[in-house]
Structure 1
Amino acid sequence: MTAQFSIGDLARETATNVRTIRYYETVGLLPPPRRTPGNQRVYGEAQRKRLAFIRHARDMGFSMEAIRELLRLASAGPDTPCADADAIARRQLDAVRGRIARLQSLQAELERMTEAHCHTIGECRVIEVLADSSHAHCLDPSHGRDGEAGAHIDFA
């Protein structure tokens, strides 16, 4: 007899929220499960493996559309060329590298902002940098838009 899972069991097996499983069904990433006479969802091992694949891909940051394409490629057969899957993974790698570069820039900026030890808000480097909408005080002005500079800002 093949393994059968309720939606709760499937959720536990794959560390996926029940609502997320239902969502994946709604958007077509998971095929609709078989139903019992009492209308309970029943999943098999193939659906567990598919959900684990989806979950792993989501953990790696792949978009839903990329996952949909990877699932299509995975179902195409073992002799199907891998070039399209490689291209999808390369795009994801490029996106991750871009996020890492932005985070490293943010880290450097925050480190620089917090180096100065001041005693009053009037001389506070954090407030000065954040209040300067022109980003002239920033190491990397590309994270903002052009605007007016000003170390004092009145929020009232």
Structure 2
Amino acid sequence: MKIGELVKRHGVSVDTIRFYEKQKLLSPSARSEAGYRLYNEADSQRLGFILRAKSVGFSLQQIRELLQIEDNKSEWQCADVKDKVQHKMQDIEQQIAELRRFHQALQQLDDACCGGPLSATECSILAALEKGQPVKPEHHHQERTSC
């Protein structure tokens, strides 16, 4: 099949397929006499594997490693694949923890600011970011002259 058929089958762009080719994750099985890339069913299955691995968060390098296992299954153990999944889950758990810290810090900044129509010259968020000082939540008063 030509690249256009592969694109339609998997719902990706031509650029995506070419990117995976440049990354040496996918290659056409052959070329036509006119120079068109030709893909077979195994190539389509490989692209599906790449896309599914990407959809659960694996990086290109991790996908490359999984493809090496996929291409040489008899040389690997199921435990090797499970180990890769467990490492990925640990990475994601660390990212989640970091995102929670970001959220908490942003919430403190948000809570400290009145968000009113006053000039940003006295903005508590900007002051905290400039000075690196912790922010304290402010009480929202109508007569307030600064945030």
Normalised TM-score (structure 1): 0.73
Q: Greater helix percent: which structure? A: 2
Matches of 1:137 and 1:48, distance apart in 2:
53
SS in 1 for 2:39: strand
Matches of 2:134 and 2:9, distance apart in 1:
50
CA-atom RMSD in angstroms: 2.3
Q: Which of residues 38, 42, 55 is equivalent to 2:34?
A: 38
Partner residue, 1:94: 90
Q: For residue 27 of structure 1, report the CA deviation from its aligned partner.
A: 2.6
Q: For residue 48 of structure 1, report the CA deviation from its aligned partner.
A: 1.0
4+ runs of 1 displaced by more than 6 Å?
A: none
AA at the equivalent of 1:129 = A
Partner residue, 1:25: 21
Partner residue, 1:64: 60
Matches of 1:97 and 1:70, distance apart in 2:
21
Q: 2:77 matched to 1:81? A: yes
Q: Deviations over 1:110-154 (max 9, x none)?
A: 22211231533243222122212xx33279xxxxxxxxxxxxxxx
Change (3 A) 1:8 1:92: same
Q: Which stretches in structure 1 are left out of the alignment for 5+ residues? A: 140-156
Partner residue, 1:120: 119
Change (3 A) 1:89 1:121: same
Partner residue, 2:2: 6
Percent identity between matched residues is 30
SS in 1 for 2:25: coil
Matches of 1:21 and 1:100, distance apart in 2:
30
Normalised TM-score (structure 2): 0.77
- 1:109/1:138 contact within 8 Å kept: no
- 2:28/2:38 contact within 8 Å kept: no
Partner residue, 1:50: 46
Q: How many residue pairs were aligned?
A: 133
Matches of 2:92 and 2:36, distance apart in 1:
39
Partner residue, 1:136: 133
